Chains A and B, each alone.
Chain A
Amino acid sequence: MDIKPDNQTIETDGTVAAPTLQAVGIVKEFGTLRANDMIDFAIKPGEIHALLGENGAGKSTLVKILYGSLQPTSGEIRWRGKPVTIPDPAAARRLGIGMVFQHFSLFDALTVVENISLALEEKHSLDELAERIRTVSADYGLPLNPASIIADLSVGVRQRVEIVRCLLQEPDLIIMDEPTSVLTPQEANQLFVTLNRLADERCSVLYISHRLEEVKQLCHHATILRHGKVVAECDPQQETAGRLASMMVGAEVGSVSMKGAAGEDLPTRFSIRNLSLPRPHPFAIALQDVSLDVRGGEVVSIAGVAGNGQDELFDALSGETTAETADAIVIDQTPCGQRGITARRKLNAAFVPEERLGHGAVPRFSLSQNVILTRHGTGEGLVRSGIVDFAGAREIVHGVTNEFDVRKAAPDPEAGELSGGNLQKFVVGREFDRKPGVLVVSQPTWGVDAGAATAIRQALVDLARAGSAVLVISQDLDEILEISDRIAVISKGRLSPAKTAAGITREEIGLLMGGADGKQEAAGAH
């Protein structure tokens, strides 16, 4: 792909400006895997440049190379036309590259100013820094109180802290990794205002996302990666989301069939009644009076921004945390609020947590051992008089991996050796294999490529249509709108009443995500 002609900008005074950053022939190899294969691209001053690709396409590797966390095997990085090496993130910051991470690197127990102070290299006084934070954040429409403790802030405001931390270093390029995955639609719009303002000030933005609608709305240019290679460059505003998606995946993306939508007169199979739980530790969320019924035959989803009590709710539903009253959780007419996860599994309920490694599976255990993990107490004969039937577990592994197309290098590898997407297919398939009457699943397609995500979503819908109650906790609004019959929203540990999915708007859900009581947080209001 010839990129020379259009990566130079003719300035108004007639001079030619070099791209802020240019990558030439970047190759990165991990052993035999080529994570980046001859990548060329350039970001112009003041451009919001999207980097699109599926999980595993090489986006993270490329970004880490640009930010100095990784060194390329070969290739060259040019900063304003001059070749540079970026040995570490500190060097990247000195050049003028800032980065806002998908997973925040903030200390919960410290204040905003203390957190930002830790990231700065030059000497400074906390008071002066607090004043600068106040000015800069207000200036960009991202107001922050420097004295707030991080733990008390919503996820959207925490992201604002990360952004302001970048802005204080007066960068010429900001890299944003999936910034809207933790934001409500309203918060995302606020972020776009700030990014456009930065672009107007000739700051470049490298914007990594798989949300095509917002890329179309925000970005001036897009580079699309697949299997470590640049497969296309385009102006996203001239393309449809469907065309962008097929460029990312390399094929048409299937959609989930919602045939035979759930009717009204179905029996309730899983019910949550006035469930309240105190917060288990100071940085957790208390559940307040959560009630919800899920009927056999339907998929009900719980939307919400990360950190609003989803983890605590999942633990309470699975029985890892028990409730104070038996009636708080009822599975097929059996109250089991005070009974643990094994008792609930015996009632033919199944659970898939968000975190695959360390929660849903033991990384250093083989897949067959991980089958035992959730199915030792379900009365399937995998454990007889205390003795484990590992051969039986291996047969289940064989069945699950065939059914869900889990790619693995050995017949029974350790869970930690599978890629994230394949492990997700395994932990979901492990539960589907039992044909559960009730399934509670958190973030079912997190980190899974588009093809596999469609397969998992279809399996969820099919399970429900076969008569099971399926409850999905997800932060992915597109996913929720695709598969749900009814939708509830969790915010600060409270659950809104479930609404029929047909006819609900994103804005409606977004408002509920920002606070079920209807009040938005001060800075989000515009």
Chain B
Amino acid sequence: MHIELTRRPHRSTAMALASPLLAIALTLVTGIVMFTLIGVDPGKALYVYFVEPLTAAWSIEQLLIKAAPMILIAIGLAFCFRSNTWNIGAEGQLVAGAIVGSVLPIMVPDWTGPLVLPLMMIMGIAGGMAFAAIPALLKIRFGTNEILTSLMLVYVAELLLDLLARGPWRNPEGLNFPDSRPFSDGQLLPVIFGDGVRLNIVFVLVAVAVAWFVLGRTITGFQISVLGQAPRAGAFAGFSRKRMILIAFLISGGMAGLAGIAEVAGPIGMLRTTVSPGYGFTAIIVAFLGRLQPVGMLLAGLLLALTFLGGEGAQFELGLSDQTTRVFQGMLLFYVLACDTFIFYRPRIVRSRTAGATAATEPGHGSS
């Protein structure tokens, strides 16, 4: 007896909606098994992870603060992934954006006029774009695998940040801590809601709306889907695959750069040796869990932010390692990708090979 996957005649719309929910359910079930095995009361653990962060106003604010960068990055990544381009290095582009965006507040600390913040944002976007252009150009010119180059460049960016924060950009009045000087008020994104929700939450809402329009209504969005699904048909339509690789990397790099500068000019308020707990990687999960749809990614970003917050609570209250959070995030991605298979395929249990009807192939496909 074995299980076979048979292709569905149509894409299953029901399964496309059910897949992320099923993935979340399976993640929770696996979580229960995991907590039981390591001797933690699973009821309590799941409560700490997924419910407690939603019970206080301050932690809901924290949720928005953590979700914002991941949603921004995920929206950029959706342009890549839909066009079948694999930017895995958003974390590095985030760091590059943070570095380039920090040039003004660190080099010209006294300039706090109205222009400085917009300039910092633009420089952050430019930094992310420039860093993302490297794997894009390598792929276009030399055919390198963008998964590897973009991923490896993450470490380059992180080491460069480390070097800057410990070396030339270290705060001269900072008692030798590896931090830059703190940014002045005029160099920080203004708080617009509660105690710490800053302007970047508006960036997120604008990005969701713009992405929804561009992906669904414009010829650019059309181009992205064509090249992503059928490159040969894309060439026949007159679309350039190489141009699309560059555009997709620039958009996702720019969004990651914006997320990076918004972190240092926001909750962190200075440049440090680390500026992100892995938002650039987690955004990949956000993108897939959100079906690469802008509104879906908005919701998925909030859920993933919850795992970060819950993870902090779990360290604190249950003494669990922060690796538990990574395990949850990894399981979520694993399950959502696995469940996505059922959008196009139907599982069947086949009892044995010799019994009467064992249709192993579908009509129209030869076997040889």
Give A residues with C-beta under 8 Å from B: 30-31, 35, 60-61, 64, 69-73, 85, 87-89, 101-103, 105, 318-320, 340-342, 345, 351, 353, 355, 358-365, 369, 372-374, 376-377, 383, 386-388, 414, 417
The answer for the CA separation of A74 and B336 in the assembled complex, in Å, is: 39
Give the Cβ gap from A426 to chain B, nearest Cβ, in Å.
Answer: 14
**Nearest A residue to B11 by beta-carbon distance?**
A364
Q: Which of A88, A342, A360, A386 touches B218 (beta carbons < 8 Å)?
A: A386
Q: Is A358 a contact partner of B233 (Cβ separation < 8 A)?
A: yes
B50 interface hit (Cβ, 8 Å):
no
> A363 near B236 (CB under 8 angstroms)?
no
Do A373 and B236 have beta carbons less than 8 Å apart? yes
Please report whether the interface of chain B is mostly helix, strand, loop or mixed according to DSSP: loop
B235 at the interface (CB under 8 A from A): yes
| Secondary structure class of chain A's binding surface, majority of residues | loop
Residues from chain B with a CB closer than 8 A to the CB of A388 are 217-219, 222
When the two chains form their complex, are residues A374 and B236 in contact, meaning their CB atoms are under 8 A apart?
A: yes
Which residue of B10, B238, B361, B368 is within 8 Å of A341 (Cβ)?
A: B238
Q: CA of A89 to CA of B364 in the docked complex: distance in angstroms?
A: 16
Which residue on chain A has the smallest CB distance to residue B219?
A383
Count chain B residues whose beta carbon lies closer than 8 angstroms to a beta carbon of A.
32
Residues facing A in B222-239 (CB within 8 A) are: 222, 225-226, 229-230, 232-233, 235-238
State whether the Cβ of B323 lies closer than 8 Å to any Cβ in chain A.
Answer: no
* CA of A73 to CA of B62, assembled, Å: 61
Kindly provide the distance from the CB of A417 to the nearest chain B CB, expressed in whole angstroms.
7
Contacts of B360 in A (CB 8 A): 69-71, 88
Which 8 A-B residue pairs are closest in the complex by CB-CB distance? Answer: A342-B238, A105-B368, A69-B367, A341-B238, A362-B230, A359-B232, A373-B237, A320-B235
The stretch of B34-42, B198-206, B351-359 that contacts the partner chain: B351-359
Whether A386 and B220, one on each chain, are in contact in the complex, defined by CB atoms closer than 8 angstroms, is yes
B319 in the interface (beta carbon within 8 A): no
Q: Contacts A360-B233, A374-B237 known; A30 to B11 CB distance under 8 Å? A: no
Residues in B neighbouring A341, C-beta threshold 8 A: 235-238
Is B237 a contact of A376 with CB atoms below 8 Å? yes
Which residues from B are CB-within-8-Å of A417?
9-10
User: What does the 1/0 interface line of B57-75 toward A look like (CB < 8 Å)?
Assistant: 0000000000000000000
For B367, list chain A residues within 8 Å (CB): 64, 69, 89
Residues of B within 8 A of A386 (CB): 218-220
> Taking A61-B363, A345-B238, A386-B220 as contacts, is the C-beta distance between A358 and B354 under 8 angstroms?
no
**17 A–B contacts from the bound complex (CB under 8 Å):** A70-B360, A70-B361, A70-B363, A71-B356, A71-B357, A71-B360, A89-B367, A105-B368, A319-B238, A340-B238, A351-B236, A358-B233, A359-B232, A373-B237, A374-B236, A374-B237, A388-B218
**Bound-complex Cα distance A364 to B235 (A):** 17
Q: Which residues of A have CB within 8 Å of B235?
A: 320, 341
| Closest CB in chain B relative to A143 CB, distance in Å | 24
Residue B114 at the A interface, CB < 8 A? no
- Give the chain A neighbours of B219 by CB distance below 8 A: 372, 376, 383, 386-388
User: CB within 8 A of A372: which of B10, B220, B222?
Assistant: B222
Distance between Cα atoms of A388 and B218 in the complex (Å):
5
What residues on B are CB-neighbors of A362 within 8 Å?
A: 225-226, 229-230, 233
Residues of chain B lying within 8 A (CB to CB) of residue A342: 237-238
The answer to whether B113 has its CB under 8 Å from any CB of chain A is: no
**Interface membership of B168, Cβ < 8 A:** no
Contact across chains for A71 and B220 when beta carbons are under 8 A apart: no
Chain A residues, CB < 8 A from B225: 362, 365
Asked if A320 contacts B357 (CB within 8 A), the reply is no
Give 1 or 0 for each of B340-354: 1 = CB within 8 Å of chain A CB. Answer: 000000000000011
With CB as the reference atom, state the residue of chain B lying closest to A343: B238
* Interchain CA distance A376-B9 in the complex, whole Å: 29
The docked-state distance in angstroms from the alpha carbon of A151 to that of B247 is 37
Residue with the greatest number of chain A CB neighbours at <10 A, chosen from B9, B217, B236: B236
Q: Decide: A101 and B236 in contact? CB cutoff 8 A.
A: no
Are A358 and B359 in contact, CB atoms less than 8 angstroms apart?
A: no
Query: B233 to chain A: which residues have CB within 8 Å?
Result: 358-362, 373
Chain B residues lying within 8 Å of A64, measured Cβ to Cβ, are 361, 366-367
If A87-B358, A362-B226, A388-B218 touch, whether A69 touches B237 (CB-CB below 8 Å) is: no
The smallest beta-carbon distance between A239 and chain B, in angstroms, is 30
Bound: A514/B44 CA distance, A: 78
Q: Does B362 contact A (CB under 8 A)?
A: yes
Assembled-state Cα–Cα distance A364/B13 (Å): 13
Please, how many angstroms separate the alpha-carbon atoms of A294 and B219 in the complex? Answer: 33
Across the interface, A320 reaches (CB within 8 A) one of B236, B353, B358, namely: B236
| A388-B217, A388-B222 given; A103·B366 CB < 8 A | yes
Question: Is A87 a contact of B220 with CB atoms below 8 Å?
Answer: no
Could you say which of B10, B236, B354, B357 contacts A360, with CB atoms under 8 Å apart? B236
- Which residue of A is nearest B227, CB measured? A362
Cβ B232 vs Cβ A355 within 8 A: yes
Q: How distant is B358 from chain A, measured CB to nearest CB, in Å? A: 5
If A358-B232, A362-B229 touch, does A387 touch B366 (CB 8 Å cutoff)? no
**Which of chain B's residues have a CB closer than 8 A to the CB of A360?**
233, 236
Are B230 and A358 touching (Cβ within 8 A)?
A: yes
- Contacting A at CB under 8 A, from B136-180, are none
The chain A residue sitting closest to B223, CB to CB, is A376
0/1 interface trace, chain B 9-46, chain A, CB 8 Å (1 if under) = 11100000000000000000000000000000000000
How close is A379's CB to chain B, nearest CB, in angstroms? 13
**Besides A88-B353, A376-B222, A388-B222, 4 other CB < 8 A contacts?**
A64-B361, A89-B368, A358-B233, A360-B233
In whole angstroms, what is the CA distance A103 to B365 when docked?
11
A30: contacting residue among B356, B358, B363, CB under 8 A? B363
> Which chain A residue has the least Cβ–Cβ distance from B358?
A71
Q: Of the candidates A85, A101, A359, which one forms a contact with B366 in the assembled complex, judged by CB atoms under 8 Å apart?
A: A101
Chain B contacts for A70, CB-based, 8 A: 359-361, 363
**Which residue of B11, B230, B238, B363 has the most chain A CB atoms within 10 A of its CB atom?**
B238
Roughly how many angstroms separate A369 CA and B223 CA in the complex, as a whole number?
Answer: 11
Nearest to B228 among chain A residues (CB) is A362
A373:B229 contact, CB within 8 angstroms: no
Contact A35 B363 (CB under 8 A): yes
Cα–Cα, bound, A359→B237 (Å): 9
CB distance from B205 to the nearest CB of A (A): 22
Q: Are A87 and B237 in contact (CB under 8 A)?
A: no
Please determine whether A387 and B218 come into contact, CB atoms closer than 8 angstroms: yes
Query: In the assembled complex, which residues on chain B have CB atoms less than 8 Å from the CB atom of A351?
Result: 236
Closest B residue to A346 using CB positions: B238
Let me know if A87 and B366 touch, CB within 8 A. Answer: no
- CB B352 to nearest CB in A, in angstroms, measures 10
How far is B353's CA from A383's CA once the two chains are assembled, in angstroms? 53
List residues of chain A with CB within 8 A of the CB of B362.
30
**Are B230 and A363 touching (Cβ within 8 A)?**
yes
Chain B CB within 10 A, most for which of A71, A73, A88: A71
- C-alpha gap A87/B363 in the complex (Å): 16
Knowing A365-B229, A373-B237, say if A87 contacts B218 (CB, 8 Å): no
Closest to A104 in B: B368
B226 contact set on A, CB distance < 8 A:
362, 365, 373
Beta-carbon contact of A359 and B222 below 8 Å:
no
Closest to B232 in A: A359
Closest to A69 in B: B367
Say how far B11's CB is from chain A's closest CB, in angstroms.
Answer: 7
Docked pose: A417 CA to B353 CA in angstroms: 30
Shortest beta-carbon distance from B318 to chain A in Å: 45
